[in-house]
Amino acid sequence: MLVVYGYRHEPFGIRARILNAECTDFATAEEFVIREDGGSWDIGYPWAVQLDKNRVLVAYYYNQNDGPRYIAGSILEVESQKGR
């Protein structure tokens, strides 16, 4: 299970975790930084969609230098986590 979220503390950005199928390991699952160049806490609302077997598009509301807000996206390559 891929969980994506806005990180509204400095450094502001978008982060993710890959959880086990039961989602019982959130507190211990490694956190991945997708972006950490946000201009303020006014970011987030990510949405992820699987593009193919190993790629996920994460779209989100964002700003840099506390400037104009916009919708951005990042493509993640996710390796298979057998046994997780």
Q: Is the pLDDT of residue 70 over 90?
A: yes
DSSP string, 66-78: T---EEEEEEEE-
Confirm whether 84 is domain-assigned: no
- Tell me the pLDDT band of 78, cut-offs 50, 70 and 90: confident
Q: Give per-residue pLDDT as tens, 42-56.
A: 999 999 999 999 999
Residue 58: partners with Cβ closer than 8 Å, 6 or more residues away: 4, 14, 16, 34, 46, 47, 48, 73, 74, 75, 76
Confirm whether 37 is domain-assigned: yes
Higher pLDDT, 75 or 83: 75
Higher pLDDT, 82 or 53: 53
pLDDT at 81: 58
Confirm whether 64 is domain-assigned: yes
Confirm whether 42 is domain-assigned: yes
Neighbours of 17 (CB within 10 A): 18
Report the alpha-carbon distance of residue 62 to residue 72 in Å, rounded.
7
pTM for the whole structure: 0.88
CA neighbours closer than 13 Å in the CB half-sphere of residue 79: 3
Confirm whether 82 is domain-assigned: no
Residue 66: partners with Cβ closer than 8 Å, 6 or more residues away: 39, 40, 42
Confirm whether 83 is domain-assigned: no
pLDDT at 79: 79
Number of domains in the chain: 1
